[in-house]
Amino acid sequence: MSNQEVVVLSVGGVRFVTRASTLQQFPESRLARMLNDDGWEFKLVNGEFFVDRDGTLFSYIMDFLRTLQVSLPTDFSDYQRLQREAEFYGLYPLADLLSQEHLLKPRLEILEVRFSLQEMQAFFRIFGSCSTTVETLAEQITVFTGQQSGRSWNSPFPSQKPLVPLPLERPSHHDMVFQCGTDYSAGDQLVARYVSIKPDNRKLINGTNVLGLLLDTLLKDGFRLISTRTVSTEEKVECYSFERMKRPAGLTI
């Protein structure tokens, strides 16, 4: 059979259409030998190869043959059954990958936001179990600062002076600290800090508004709010805890 020919398989009543070359990725497998008339387990019925095995699990077999990668849904749990199917088809490289079940299972990612509102300033601290997520979030958040003389702040931005971006405080790879609002520095200088969170282009100075935008950004990124609690009543510190299932990178041969 030419490796460009179309092959139709009926696996447990589920129909699959593929190229011969896909099934021949592993020449010693039963699927490759089937095309060479050496697969006595499979019957040719009306031009289709009939295979009396699990059709749902075979879809993952086909995905592996097409990509040479194991990438399973986050809610997948039949690792042993799929490994048994891989062994039946003689796809031992796939069976070996599936034996590393701990590498294929999704991991729970935790992220915590602490928010404190003190007079005209708001303080934020974000901690995440995944440093990559924290790094990505840090790239989205920018703090801008500006100063103005006098005892008033009449415009939404410092008059005559552009806002200057400030680097976020990064105590470690797993957390970040920033603040927004207004404060008086030495000499009668009014200092303001605005926060911008991409892809939103607004520069917000009100801490409650920044908190709302931050929580909305996390929810859109796939996190789920699991708890809200007050950490310190005296300091008015609130804690928002999030979690999401992080899909592992596919294992490749």
Are 116 and 140 part of one and the same domain?
A: yes
Q: Is residue 116 part of a domain?
A: yes
Q: For CA atoms 50, 51, 52, 56, give the dihedral sign.
A: negative
Question: In this predicted model, what pLDDT tens digit does every residue of 71-98 receive, in sequence order?
Answer: 888 778 899 999 999 999 999 999 998 9
| Closest by Cα among 25, 24, 46, 26 to 35 | 24
Q: What pLDDT score was predicted for residue 40?
A: 64
Q: What tokens were used for 213?
A: 């935008």
Size of the chain, expressed as the number of residues it contains: 253
Are 181 and 198 part of one and the same domain?
A: yes
Q: Is residue 1 part of a domain?
A: no
SS3 89: coil
Count of structural domains, the chain: 2
| CB within 8 Å of 249: residues ≥ 6 apart | none
Q: What pLDDT score was predicted for residue 1?
A: 55
CA 136, CA 128: separation in Å to the nearest integer? Answer: 11
Are 21 and 113 part of one and the same domain?
A: no
Could you tell me the residue range of the domain that residue 14 belongs to?
Answer: 6-102
Amino acid making up residue 210: V
Q: What pLDDT score was predicted for residue 186?
A: 53
- Asked if residue 116 lies in contact with residue 163, where contact means CB atoms within 8 angstroms, the answer is no
SS3 131: helix
Q: Which ranges of the chain have pLDDT less than 70?
A: 1-4, 38-40, 148-161, 185-188, 233, 247-250
Q: What pLDDT score was predicted for residue 154?
A: 47
Are 49 and 113 part of one and the same domain?
A: no
